Structure 1
Amino acid sequence: MRFPTAPALFVACLTLAGCASSSSPESVLAPRPSGETTSSVIRPAAPVPATAVGPAATPPESQEALAWAGPVSEPQAFAPMEREAGMPVPIERPIAFVAPENPASGAAPRTHVYGHRFRDAKPINFGRRSPHKLAVHGVDVSRWQGDIDWAKLRTQGANFAYIKATDGGDHLDPMFKKNWRRAQAAGLKRGAYHFFYWCRTAGEQADWFIRNVPRAPDALPPVIDVEWNGESSCKRRPSPARVREKMQVFMDKLERHYGQRPIIYTAPDFYRDNLEGAFPNYPFWLRSVAAHPSKVYPGRKWLFWQYSGSGLSRGVDGRIDLNVFHGSEGEWHDFIAARSI
């Protein structure tokens, strides 16, 4: 179809302007909360607190939009810049992901491991390779679990918890600070995770995570959550090479800051699109709620398995994600001891 000259010129200008605004794969969106959430937990019908509720001695939780763990340090001179698209991503990294060869002596005493007492709204029969045969179970949480009774949750079998901290380059989960503090007080081993947003630079996102997540000596390794989210305002799906490049930049920066190799959390579709055979020297946390991970991610070693998104437990209203550590109780204690200072 042929357009008149003036409208055609106008359409062409708009097209060129749109291309110019999105030509850089690392273009930054307007500085407003990204609205990202993991898709594994159904949001409750009841209202969710918009802010955390801390003790009176802490700053008003209305200030949670600001970072609470201090300023971001300036990047070191030797810190790598983000690589250009198409450049190879190294598969060998300098720091072992599991533990130092000679962990420091004087580690904290072993904590009690509670047996699995969770229920499931949609139970799955995993057969002989059931997650229930593994010793150490845990959960992952975000603001959508509301106000958690951490002491009750622990006695139900939550020996560890991964807590939603950040996503994108500007959003802090409003319950993170409260959950981080109370999980530790209840005796759980806890770590923080970041939901990766494909329309922000990896460096910005790493800085935001570092700014908001304390470098605690007893924390589990940080987690990068990479998956496609159909509800996201960001519809960009970079190429597999670009995805891995951005992940590497983010993980390198966290590893330098926290001294632990980050864990990669992912889901089946994203894994097939981008990660099959990649990052062999990184620990993986795999979502597989209908079959054992060996069937969904053949050949992939894993550290944590998210086996349910419909768990039920005392201490939490509604559903909660259930996870299990890949190892015995003794191996869990060794894993924790290697992270104690």
Structure 2
Amino acid sequence: MGRWLFRLVALAALIALGFAAWLWWDMRSWRPDPALYPEQGAVIASGTSPARYETLNAIGADFVYLALSGPGGAPDPGFAARLGAARDAGLEVGIVQPFDPCLGADIQSARFTRMVPRDGDLLPPAIALIRTAADCNPAVSDAAVESELLTLVNQIEMHAGKPVILKLGQEFEARHRTANSTARDLWLVRDRARPDYAGRPWLLWSANSQLVTEASEEPIEWVVVQR
């Protein structure tokens, strides 16, 4: 009996390992069906290896969002060149501003307004709400986080001239319930499975955070639009 139980456990572990390996391999190239999501694009993070924007366009990207580094990070002297290269490749371009709950809105919006031109042709800017205040030192209350976020939203919208999109992580949403307290389009994040944690419809979905393509030496984040 013990030998059969051992064999069953070993077989189950082998199957689980095989499934995990298949899923990892499949996710390297998986993208949502373009028949369901005709508009697709990518996020290019600051500090990554240079992307080949013409290749992104060739493999099906209609747009790209360029992510800024956080206020505490190093400056991004190549930002203007990345913006120009993406446009030259025929891609629509937007900017992602990461929100740091440990810092005030002014220092964060100052970085955005200094680097991002006032340009009506840019896509609506996005604010990435991924990190919570759990590890802030000194501690920051949830009320303070929500107040600074609202200020940042207003400051970036004033500069951009259009409403922001909230790129809302599941942990941040669970803590602050931002989806229902802030009336902005949502950008949700979940590999492969359609996200539903916001409780209302979303506009953008980061469907694969580790897509391997010819457009970059590093995996990129693949995004689709829901109309």
Aligned match of 2:117: 214
Change (3 A) 1:285 1:216: same
Compare the two structures and name the one with the higher helix fraction: 2
Q: Does 1:268 align with 2:170?
A: yes
- Superposed displacement of residue 176, structure 1: 2.0
CA RMSD of aligned residues (A): 2.6
Does structure 2 conserve the Cα–Cα contact (< 8 Å) formed by 1:158 and 1:188?
yes
- Superposed displacement of residue 189, structure 1: 0.4
Q: Does 1:317 align with 2:217?
A: yes
SS in structure 2 of the partner of residue 286 of structure 1? strand
Q: Does 1:306 align with 2:206?
A: yes
- Superposed displacement of residue 144, structure 1: 4.3
- Superposed displacement of residue 257, structure 1: 1.8
Deviations 1:207-252 (A, max 9, x none): 221011111121011111121279x985566333222211110011
Higher relative contact order (CA 8 A, sep 6+): 1
Aligned match of 1:17: none
Q: Does 1:248 align with 2:155?
A: no
Aligned residue runs from structure 1 range 30-109, under 5 A? none
Aligned match of 1:139: 42
The answer to which of 274-283 and 216-225 deviates more is: 274-283
The answer to which of 314-323 and 163-172 deviates more is: 163-172
Structure whose alpha-carbon radius of gyration is higher = 1
- Structure 1 alignment gaps of length 5 or more: 1-118, 125-129, 328-341
- Superposed displacement of residue 276, structure 1: 4.7
- Superposed displacement of residue 203, structure 1: 1.5
TM-score by length of 2: 0.78
Does structure 1 conserve the Cα–Cα contact (< 8 Å) formed by 2:208 and 2:223?
yes
Aligned match of 1:282: 184
Compare the two structures and name the one with the higher strand fraction: 2
Deviations 1:135-178 (A, max 9, x none): 11000012343111111111101111110124226743344222
Identity %: 24
Cα distance between partner residues in 2 of 1:123 and 1:212:
33
- Structure 2 alignment gaps of length 5 or more: 1-25
